[in-house]
Structure 1
Amino acid sequence: MELSVIGRGIFEEEIVSGSRREERAVKALGDMFKEVADWVKTFDTPVVSWVEEECLIEANERVFKCSILPPGVDFEVEGRMVTNIRQALLVEEPVLLLGVRGWGLILNRVLQRVSDGRLKAVIIYDPLSDSYKREVVSGSSGLSLHTGSPFPIPVVSVRKSDVRDLLQTASGCRIRIYGRARLVRDAVGRTLVAGVNGRGELEVHASAHHDHWFNGVYDDLIGLEALLGLARRLRGAGNTANVTIISFTAREFGSPILPSWYWSWGSRFFTETLESKGHIDKVVANITIDNLTGSTLRASYHPFLFKCVKEVKGAGVVDEGLRFLPYLDSYSYLHRGVPSVALHNQPEHLMRGHLDHQEGSHFENTVVNLVDVSMRLVSCLSKLEDYDLEPVSNMLTSYAESEARYLAGKIMLMLNSVKGFRRRASVLQEFSPTIISYQPKLEINYGLLEDLNTILKAIEAIERNNYGGFLVEDLDDGPLIDVYVDEYTRDTVARVLREVFKHRVRLHLAKSNKVVARILGVEV
């Protein structure tokens, strides 16, 4: 298979939303889609852009190259290098050298733990790869879609191969870190939108993104190749729904308010605009392709789409259920009540993060498989007359023996009483919170009654004598669990959490009354 994007210089350079390089890349991508789609246009998005110009570490007359972590801006600091927090307490103006593996949220949690107000800067490196890292660092302690701030001190990365020399050279002397970078406010990011016309009024959206850190092969040039291949297949297929193909801007960074939930701003703004214009009612489902590090292809999906995902599981696709959806552009659609399926290898990306070199070179087979799986999904979604309720019913049966059994039955009754894609999706969205767990494990989950599910899992863990901190938030409603458990508090905490479970059930039941009234057209 001949590749159109991978290997072309304009795409394999770092592309930041709102930059001139993005403008040139979107134009080149648009020219490619004009050959395979029925129409092509761009969608402007307000963004903050970021430009890195230089990063250097000077130690004992030697100079080491570094890479600034966004959204860091111009800085010049001096201090003494230390390798742990205990050492930092013993020296003036410490600069912490830290080995960190993984993506941005992992790094941010680590930085929050080590930042004590005394550090002048943090230098990070990947302990398993000789690469610079590029992750967005935030000054906020938790995840939020609201206004945030940058990390208060400079954070830069170096290659693993430079760490030993840097430590030896900096021993016994002060170092200087110099960086030039800037934020560009009021910039414009460009999302590319192309369409392959089909039958009827409804649409299936298939999306990837073109902005990326470093060379972006896995995140997400492979996704762009797959979208081009999908468009070629659709032109000759016929008998499918209208398919809108989208390459988003500002997937990695770009929200003007710098929230700690820094990813997927481009798709959030796009879906919000669709909803404000009433156009989102036409969208049956979204297919997101992203984060394809490694050879494994995984599918995460809304339960309404289980029937279609089941048809592609035989193609070597790992079934992940609802897991990982909040990390991807699929979540922007879910947040607006549109079911989504994501094709990805997110677990590998979470462990790896953004590095400046690619691993492997067999991209063609991955692209071919993605095109085939995407085409089969589009064909199945085009045949849907309404969303399948059986997977939701199966999920709700787990509450049959709990205090939530009446709530579960009421949700199914509401779903059965409404017809049509949008109405069923909007009902289920009302009871599908986004839950962020910071302890004992950092993860984000979205799904039907996910708050209740999380509380039950915490109770089970405590009853298995898993002690320690439990810190969990509801993205919209705030704190859900914040306790420390040991052998003395085990039974009391478990009892309190059961009461919290009952309280959340009552909140959902109150909401269900409003949903029923809306269905019946009655004001409450």
Structure 2
Amino acid sequence: MVFERLKLLSTEGEIITGSKEEGKIIDKIKAFFHEVSDEVRVTPIMVMNWKQRDLILECSGRKIDASLFPYSPSVDLETEVSESYELCNNKMLKVKINNLFEVNKYYEEAIEKGCNSVVFSLDDEIRRFVIKNGNLLSTKPSPPPYIPAIYVKLSDFQLVKGKCRLLADSEFNQSTGYIVEGIKNAKYNEEIHVTAHHDHWLAGERDNLLAVSILPELTSDLYETHLISFTAEESGSLSFSPFSWSYGSRKFLQGIRTDNVLLNINMDNLAEDSLTVKLTPGLRGLIENEVNVLEIPEIYTDSYSYVKSGIPSVNIGSYSMLHYHGEFDVVNPGDPKLNQNIELTKRLILKVINSKIEYNFNEMVNYLDDVMKSLPLPLRSYLVNVEEKIRERNERTYRNLLRFYGGILYDDFADVKLFHKIFGSIEARKRNKVCIEDYGCIKKERNDEIYNKQYEYFINTLIHEINNEYIEQIYLI
């Protein structure tokens, strides 16, 4: 049944949050949930819908197949092409990338150098990726990107040269996205949220229609099970916030009481590669040893919204980038490894939600012990009391501590740390630029003896201020 559901959903094509196509896929997901749930709810949320209406890239009289990266603005320009940042002022820059997560690093540099557009390529698969303006880990409003970015296949990349015409016609509208929730009552009133997302770029079967198709097979006789298919995981923030993903789950959790949500289990990007489970400390004992388990939250999925809301979370997925956000993200139902991963995912989740769930508080104590070694002494002294409460199995303290996780970005992929603002500031001592979730980006402008002394003073002051901020917050938990 999993593949039958998957292929039925896949017929709707690319699903961008707030689009007409989303309404069609919602009806199908509702039908799936009605078969296994006591109640089905649909929660509308306000989203920004982006749409590519037209795109023409023509170089030296030859049209080139391309895709427009969301949230590119509309333009109609004739321009020369440059392969050098230093020479791209008022020109189109072409950039060969190693993975899609490099896009915004190069996009930002292109803006700084005055390029009028950017053309990316990775391989021979059309892709999409959201471009951003500002601190990439900020959930706060940000001005929209103001130069377009497009993607061409690697086999066509050589054709982007000389003089080109770029016509990009995109549309932004306030719209409505929909979250579908199937609820099955059980012995205990405590809730388990098993989640996935239905919006997707291009084909989107691994990311993330396959996970949505598995949801109806995951219910519990012990706990009230909420099967949730989120909108606006890939895009949709009303304010162009650079933290562009998992917007739908953030809004959803802001609108409900979360005290009774015992656990979140999220599935995202299930593929043929080996599965990796990322979870918050305290949950390691719930997961069998036949998968790779990392005791760290996954920042790039809806599971992170639960962590930031103080809810222990498990994320299950593959970390293959082979067809990520690509036109060939279509699975083969006969693939033995994929079938094995589907069955393993189902077995892992069903075992967890049909067993008595207890947090292992010692896991968090041990993790906190390790974190505290790198924290300033005043904060450590306060955390000793927090640690003691968790050791005494104080669930409220344990859950509130999860809210102190945050992201740090200094490479292609973000790290997640408890008390991330301090760790980000420490990291800034040895990096040219570090972005810290909902705090800002720290950039070292020079590297000479005089400036380095000033910069060290600046970092020490930041750490002192952040330390005091955390102490005030810790006091309340």
Q: TM-score, normalised by structure 1?
A: 0.81
Residue correspondence of structure 1 range 396-407 to structure 2 within 5 A: 396-398=368-370, 399=372, 403=377, 405-407=380-382
Q: Name the SS of the counterpart of 2:195 in structure 1.
A: strand
1:85 aligns with 2:58: no
In structure 2, C-alpha distance between the alignment counterparts of 1:371 and 1:407, rounded to whole Å: 41
Structure 1 pair 483/300, CA: closer, same or farther in 2 (3 Å)? farther
1:446 maps to which of 412, 416, 421: 416
Q: Name the SS of the counterpart of 2:106 in structure 1.
A: helix
Structure 1 pair 483/509, CA: closer, same or farther in 2 (3 Å)? farther
Report the CA distance between 1:499 and its aligned residue: 7.5
Structure 1 pair 512/158, CA: closer, same or farther in 2 (3 Å)? closer
Report the CA distance between 1:160 and its aligned residue: 1.4
Report the CA distance between 1:62 and its aligned residue: 2.2
1:357 aligns with 2:345: no
Specify the alignment match of 2:6 in structure 1: 6
Q: Give, as a single letter, the amino acid of the residue that structure 2 aligns with 1:94.
A: K
Which ranges of structure 2 fall in alignment gaps of 5 or more residues? none
1:227 aligns with 2:215: yes
Identity of aligned residues (%): 22
Specify the alignment match of 1:313 in structure 2: 289
Structure 1 pair 110/358, CA: closer, same or farther in 2 (3 Å)? same
In structure 2, C-alpha distance between the alignment counterparts of 1:148 and 1:505, rounded to whole Å: 27
In structure 1, C-alpha distance between the alignment counterparts of 2:53 and 2:373, rounded to whole Å: 59
Structure 1 pair 196/113, CA: closer, same or farther in 2 (3 Å)? same
2:120 maps to which of 106, 109, 124: 124
Specify the alignment match of 1:98 in structure 2: 95
2:142 maps to which of 139, 144, 148: 148
Larger radius of gyration: 1
Specify the alignment match of 2:58 in structure 1: 58
Q: Name the SS of the counterpart of 2:282 in structure 1.
A: helix
Aligned partners of 1:222 and 1:292 also within 8 Å = yes
Residue correspondence of structure 1 range 35-46 to structure 2 within 5 A: 35-46=35-46
Specify the alignment match of 1:437 in structure 2: 409
Structure 1 pair 452/407, CA: closer, same or farther in 2 (3 Å)? farther
The structure with the greater share of residues assigned to helix is 1
Structure 1 pair 401/477, CA: closer, same or farther in 2 (3 Å)? closer
Q: TM-score, normalised by structure 2?
A: 0.88
Report the CA distance between 1:509 and its aligned residue: 3.2
Specify the alignment match of 2:130 in structure 1: 136
Q: Name the SS of the counterpart of 2:5 in structure 1.
A: coil
In structure 1, C-alpha distance between the alignment counterparts of 2:425 and 2:103, rounded to whole Å: 26
Specify the alignment match of 2:166 in structure 1: 177
Q: Give, as a single letter, the amino acid of the residue that structure 2 aligns with 1:280.
A: T
Specify the alignment match of 1:424 in structure 2: 397
Specify the alignment match of 1:518 in structure 2: none
Q: Deviations over 1:266-311 (max 9, x none)?
A: 101100001xxxx2111001111002344111111111322213xx
Aligned partners of 1:17 and 1:189 also within 8 Å = yes
Q: Give, as a single letter, the amino acid of the residue that structure 1 aligns with 2:470.
A: H
Structure 1 pair 410/147, CA: closer, same or farther in 2 (3 Å)? same
Specify the alignment match of 2:281 in structure 1: 303
Structure 1 pair 353/114, CA: closer, same or farther in 2 (3 Å)? farther
In structure 2, C-alpha distance between the alignment counterparts of 1:153 and 1:489, rounded to whole Å: 33
The alignment covers a number of residue pairs equal to 470
Report the CA distance between 1:158 and its aligned residue: 1.2
1:513 aligns with 2:466: no
1:376 maps to which of 351, 358, 362: 351
Report the CA distance between 1:483 and its aligned residue: 7.6
Specify the alignment match of 2:258 in structure 1: 280
Specify the alignment match of 1:519 in structure 2: none
Report the CA distance between 1:138 and its aligned residue: 1.6
Report the CA distance between 1:7 and its aligned residue: 2.4
Which ranges of structure 1 fall in alignment gaps of 5 or more residues? 463-467, 516-524
Residue correspondence of structure 1 range 488-499 to structure 2 within 5 A: none
In structure 2, C-alpha distance between the alignment counterparts of 1:95 and 1:30, rounded to whole Å: 45
Which has the larger displacement, 403-412 or 28-37?
403-412
Q: Name the SS of the counterpart of 1:313 in structure 2.
A: coil
Q: Name the SS of the counterpart of 1:198 in structure 2.
A: coil
Q: Name the SS of the counterpart of 1:146 in structure 2.
A: coil
Structure 1 pair 197/159, CA: closer, same or farther in 2 (3 Å)? same
Specify the alignment match of 1:367 in structure 2: 342
Specify the alignment match of 1:71 in structure 2: 71
Report the CA distance between 1:502 and its aligned residue: 6.1
In structure 1, C-alpha distance between the alignment counterparts of 2:346 and 2:152, rounded to whole Å: 37
